[in-house]
Structure 1
Amino acid sequence: MEEIEEHGSKEKVNVSKTSTSRSIFSIFSQADAIDYCLMALGCAGAIADGVQMPMVFFFSGMFFNDIGSNTTYQSLTINSINRTLSLFLYTAVASLGASFLEAYCWTRTAERQGSRMRVRYLSSLLRQEVAYFDLKGPSTSEIVNSVSSDSLAIQDVLSEKYKTEITTCTCFLKMFGSNIQKPAHVQPVIRYPNPYCCNGRLSLLLPVAQVPNLMCCSFAFVGGYIVAFILDWRLAMVAFPMAVLLLIPGMIYGRVLLRLARKTLMEYNKANEITEKAFFAIRTVYAFTAEQRTLAAFSSALKRTVRYGLRQGLTKGFAIGSTGIMFGMWAFMVWYGGHLTANKGSKGGNLYAAGIAIINGGITLGSGLSNVKYFVEAIAVAERMKEVIDRKPAIDLENREGEEMESLKGEVEFREVRFSYPARAETEVLKGFSMKVLACKTVALVGESGSGKSTAIALLQRFYDPTGGKILLDGVEISRLRLKWLRAQMGLVSQEPVLFATTIKENILFGKEDATLDEVIAATKAANAHDFISHLPWGYDTQVESKKLK
């Protein structure tokens, strides 16, 4: 439980204590069997892509050893070069296939899971009871953001989005200090003056799948150490404790950033809710000259996001900056490698390849950590959307259980009904309300504002369930009837009807989708609306929105 100061008071914000592993899997909560197969293939491609650079360093060590041991016979040197270049070529072909498998499978499954999550999120929201939105349900702006932006953030983590480094065939030549000219149309993000710092790669701004990128970077780190242990276990052993220090900041970084991302998301939702309410009641804002108060409330919400953003920046700077220990490791390994060569008989090629494999793995892991921010933000979004998707409504519109009457007369009875709205449970709106309406009779409920007129209609349609008493339809308690059937038997005209952004005809067809034009006209005539609709320039095809024509 965290406390956030707001306008001099303290507001308690409940921060989920979900475990990290469970949080990570919330991103994949909408995956099906096909998606799991695609992700498995994508993981295989990411792993193969991650270990290809350690393999290149392994072959390089063999090559340097051959050159160092064959200083007399030129033919042996040429054979060694040809063999090493062949191994590089095979590695490049394998890397091409692995990269294609990685990119295609993750992009494909990202589209599938993202679309499925959007549909299920909106479907679950439409199933929720009205009380859910009164109490803790998301605001309109939050729903729109979740369907449009937030779900895309999850999809982007699985699909193409972020910066990566593309392996080029110049890596081997770069080790020898060759001046590789970049194409004119490519603008590098970072230019490394030291060939060892570039990992044999040319850094470009390219799309990458975030999940496989982290996997690729992790296996580059692990693969680098495996190669180092194979080539010279003594050098790898002394470097291992320093490399472990890289993992500790990364773990802290992920946990702290996830907590801050959750809080930031909550504050942005509050800011969006303020703007939504202000523009929905813009005339009231103007009438009471409340523009400055609205801006002050909006700015207050954003100030907290800035504070969390600063904490995120400090955390990220500490984690990414900690990867600089790799350069100290390189200096140490150069010194210790010289000692092993002079006193232990270690081969120079093995020591060079082992050292560069360790350094490459550390720097690659650091580049992966720089994108963890987007990963944890997607986790925070996925947790919130999954909570809505998994929620079971108290009054479920899609519940197929319940009775359906073969013949309906239309007799309604309220019997000692008591009710209070969930948002104000301490205030009873209806206190033992009783009423009986006979079939084919017209009854008017008259009373002052807040006396419960609209509440009685809402209870009849089961927008809410009464806290006491019974509501009967033809002598049958409405809670025993199938909800979708019950609401289909009623027609409701609100005091201020809400129009959808489409034509007049299509708005009317929401009441009966298969109605003919004659039935639509008959309905408008019954409502005394046919004449003024007919005088509009486009008649029933006139585009409308809430409270206005288009």
Structure 2
Amino acid sequence: MSSVLKRKKVSWTLNHNTVDHKDQAITYSPTENGLSKSGLPSNNKPQELKKKDAKKQPPARRLKLFEIYKFADKLDFLFMFIGAIACIGTGAVFPLMMLVYQNVATSLVKTSIPPNLLNYTTPPNINPECILKPVNSTADTLSELRGMIKWYLILGVCSVLCYWIGFSLWMITAERQVRRIRFALFRSILNQEMGWFDKLNPGELSNRLVADLDKIRDGLGDKKADFISLICRLFGGLIFAFVTGWKLTLVFIALSPLTVIAFNITMRVIAKYTAREIKAFSKASAVAQEVLGSIRTVTAFSGQKKEEERFAENLREAKQIGIKKGLYMGLCQAAAQVAIYISFTITFWYGPYLVRTECQNYNAGAVIVIFISCLQSTFSISQIVPNIQAFAEAAGSGGYVFDIISRISKIDAFKSEGEIPTMLVGDIELQNVIFTYPARQDTPVLNNVTMKIPSGKTVALVGASGCGKSTSIQLIQRFYDPDQGRVLLDGKDIKTLNVAWLRSHIGVVSQEPVLFTGSIEENIRFGKPDATDEEVRAAAKMANAHDFIMALPE
């Protein structure tokens, strides 16, 4: 082989003085510009560069309010509308049940007053008109209660139906939208150029397809239904309480922030220490996975005791975190209970006072339902917070996912654009190619490379590991585009050719072949799904795989 070396340029030409003029070898020779002796620098990426690239990743944007519904169709919007109405009905049932319960409580209290109460002298500071008199007999009370029980049954049936319709429709539309998002994300990932994959951390894409989409589903599905229901219960309960007795309601609302703050602190403590606990257990799991994966090495060096200690050390860390979590959770739960009982005490002190002094507006039943309504509204606020957190996580995950979906690939294999030649000869040429990997801009891989490979010739690229042999093949496959120079096929720049057509005429067997789930026949047909059985057998024979395939059991 002859090579012509010029300053800042390397040119490879083929020597046809071989045995049969078919087998040729190309060896990368030393060049200038700081290249390795094999002609090109190594592709190995230092760890500090990987960390540097990871830091360059821009933070994911958050989705706007209605942007998360980008993949919803008309039927989904109809489902969401009906589901929202049903969830509103679920929340509206609560104040109606309190109205019925008020009548029940009032009726029971009136019936339970002993007749001799009328003989008592009115205590001081009590309005004489507020002395309750037994107006109902037991029979009358039972008759009233039967009528109220009917209303309870009606409201119960309405609540079940609204809950079932609302949550079902929201979860159905969430699954429909997530299915479209998942497919669009997977399709967009498959369509991206190799340079985009080089910049990603390992396992990040699989995490996007699983964890992020689960968060989006939560933000679109039952969390949304629960949020609407809780909001309606919150405002419905407060409105009912204000209408029934605004003074007592204001007193309870003034105390409710104590309960809300206590519950929120509890949730934050749980989230904080749960994350630490999971991280500690994940370290222990990593140790176990590492040991079990290399059990022969561990056994060969009698390292069982050492690995036991390493595993136990990580478990001790998780244990300490769990103890702290339990202590802090106990304190927070105690504070929450104290706040609740303070609200109970003041409410049940002030409520009877209003009954004694303002019996025209307050009775025993009113005090009870005001207390229950305000208490449920307070709990609703605490339950709303996790839903808001789920929406925030869905917006964050959705921003990253939607950015991937909307990203336009620099080398789009799905587009029908590009020339499709009617005849293919197979002459390949690299002209003055300069290339660096997108994730390693400071490390040149090919520098002014010129190479000609005529059709019908068997060519070997010989060189040290990392000198650019595989990179040259990837440029021919158009996994990447060169920074400068051109890659030609039959004299045409491959950038002008249809990408799918180009790759369909290239067969590649990598150093470590990969088999996909399925039969051997399906794997052979992977590059040409419409291949005939004869073509499949011919391909297996060319790869010297036909005999051992036929020897495999059915």
TM (norm. structure 1) is 0.71
Partner Cα separation in structure 2 for residue 482 and residue 317 of structure 1:
67
Distance 1:463 1:42, change over 3 A: same
Q: Which residue of 1 aligns with 2:346?
A: 332
| 1:420 Cα deviation from its structure 2 partner | 1.4
Q: Which residue of 2 aligns with 1:172?
A: none
Structure 2 letter corresponding to 1:122: F
Q: Which residue of 1 aligns with 2:97?
A: 56
> After the TM superposition, which residues 48-197 of structure 1 pair with which residues of structure 2 at under 5 Å, given as runs?
48-65=89-106, 68=110, 71-74=134-137, 77=141, 80-139=144-203, 142-144=204-206, 146-147=208-209, 151-152=213-214, 154-155=216-217
Q: Is the 8 A contact 1:253 1:319 kept in 2?
A: yes
Pair 1:409-2:450 in alignment = no
Structure 2 letter corresponding to 1:332: I
**Aligned with 2:246 (options 233, 239, 245):** 233
% same residue: 32
Pair 1:342-2:383 in alignment = no
| 1:503 Cα deviation from its structure 2 partner | 2.1
Partner Cα separation in structure 1 for residue 235 and residue 430 of structure 2:
71
Distance 1:223 1:315, change over 3 A: farther
Provide the secondary structure at the position in 2 that maps to 1:89.
helix
Partner Cα separation in structure 1 for residue 462 and residue 391 of structure 2:
56
| 1:454 Cα deviation from its structure 2 partner | 0.9
Of residues 358-367 and 23-32 in structure 1, the stretch that sits farther from structure 2 once superposed is 23-32
Q: Is the 8 A contact 2:287 2:310 kept in 1?
A: no
Structure 1 letter corresponding to 2:238: Y
Q: Which residue of 2 aligns with 1:426?
A: 442
Distance 1:234 1:253, change over 3 A: same
Q: Which runs of 5+ in 1 are unaligned?
A: 1-5, 160-208, 539-550
Q: Which residue of 2 aligns with 1:166?
A: none
Q: Which runs of 5+ in 2 are unaligned?
A: 1-47, 111-131
Q: Which residue of 1 aligns with 2:127?
A: none
Q: Which residue of 1 aligns with 2:84?
A: 43
**Aligned with 2:519 (options 472, 486, 503):** 503
Provide the secondary structure at the position in 1 that maps to 2:481.
coil
Distance 1:465 1:442, change over 3 A: same
| 1:97 Cα deviation from its structure 2 partner | 1.7
| 1:250 Cα deviation from its structure 2 partner | 7.1
Q: Is the 8 A contact 1:316 1:370 kept in 2?
A: no
Pair 1:535-2:535 in alignment = no
Of residues 485-494 and 253-262 in structure 1, the stretch that sits farther from structure 2 once superposed is 253-262
Distance 1:500 1:218, change over 3 A: same
**Could you say what the CA RMSD is over the residues aligned between the two structures, in angstroms?**
4.8
Q: Which residue of 2 aligns with 1:450?
A: 466
Larger Rg: 2
Alignment deviations for residues 1-24 of structure 1 (CA, whole Å, 9 cap, x no partner) = xxxxx9xx99969795856xx488
Partner Cα separation in structure 1 for residue 275 and residue 242 of structure 2:
41
Partner Cα separation in structure 2 for residue 316 and residue 14 of structure 1:
40
Q: Is the 8 A contact 1:415 1:470 kept in 2?
A: yes
Alignment deviations for residues 423-468 of structure 1 (CA, whole Å, 9 cap, x no partner) = 3221111110011223333333222222211111111111112122
Partner Cα separation in structure 2 for residue 407 and residue 390 of structure 1:
35
Provide the secondary structure at the position in 2 that maps to 1:444.
strand
TM (norm. structure 2) is 0.70
Structure 1 letter corresponding to 2:541: K
Q: Which residue of 2 aligns with 1:462?
A: 478
Partner Cα separation in structure 2 for residue 108 and residue 311 of structure 1:
37
Pair 1:396-2:412 in alignment = yes
**Aligned with 2:492 (options 466, 476, 483):** 476
Partner Cα separation in structure 2 for residue 499 and residue 266 of structure 1:
34
Matched pairs, number: 478
Distance 1:135 1:144, change over 3 A: closer
Partner Cα separation in structure 2 for residue 71 and residue 114 of structure 1:
61
Higher relative contact order (CA 8 A, sep 6+): 2
> After the TM superposition, which residues 319-398 of structure 1 pair with which residues of structure 2 at under 5 Å, given as runs?
322=336, 325-345=339-359, 346-348=361-363, 349-366=365-382, 369=385, 382=398, 384-398=400-414
Distance 1:287 1:416, change over 3 A: farther
Pair 1:513-2:529 in alignment = yes
Partner Cα separation in structure 1 for residue 59 and residue 323 of structure 2:
19
Alignment deviations for residues 353-403 of structure 1 (CA, whole Å, 9 cap, x no partner) = 112211122234445657777776666655554443344333222233333
